[in-house]
Amino acid sequence: AARELEKQRGWKIRVVDLRWLVPLNAVYIAAQAKGAKRIVVVDEGRRSAGVGEGIITALSEAGFGATPQARVVGVDTYTPLAGAAFLVLPGEADIVAAGLGLK
C-alpha cells in the first residue's frame, strides 16, 4: 500500500511497526509522526476498542489533531480462521483508498 501511494501521489511514506502494544509508546509514536502531512493508522483488529484508537488518541494528545488522519481497521466482528479471515481484515486497497482520501 505504501508503494502504491508513493507511485500514485509521489508522497514520501513512512511505515512504523510498533513491535509492541503494551505499554503503547506514545512518545515514540509522536516522534514518528513529526513532520507528517497525513497519517494513516492501520490496525488488523476491530474498529471498536482496537489499538488504532489508542494510536489516534496518542497522536491527538501529542498535538497532531490538526494533521489529516484516517484509521483503517478490521470489521467489528470476531476474526474467522484460515482464508475467511481475509473477509474481515483490512487489505491493501482499503489502505490505499484511505490514504488517497486524505487531503
pLDDT at residue number 52: 92
Return the domain boundaries, the chain.
Answer: 2-101
pLDDT at residue number 62: 97
Query: What tens digit of pLDDT does each residue of 39-84 get?
Result: 999 999 888 888 999 999 999 999 999 999 999 999 999 889 999 9
Residue type, 32: Q
DSSP letter for 32, please.
H
**CATH number assigned to the domain with residue range 2-101, chosen from the 4 options 3.30.70.260, 3.30.450.30, 3.30.465.10, 3.40.50.920:** 3.40.50.920
Helices (H) and strands (E) counted in the chain, each on its own, are: 4, 2
Of 32, 67, 71, 37, residue with least CA distance to 54: 71
**CA 83 to the chain's CA centroid:** 23
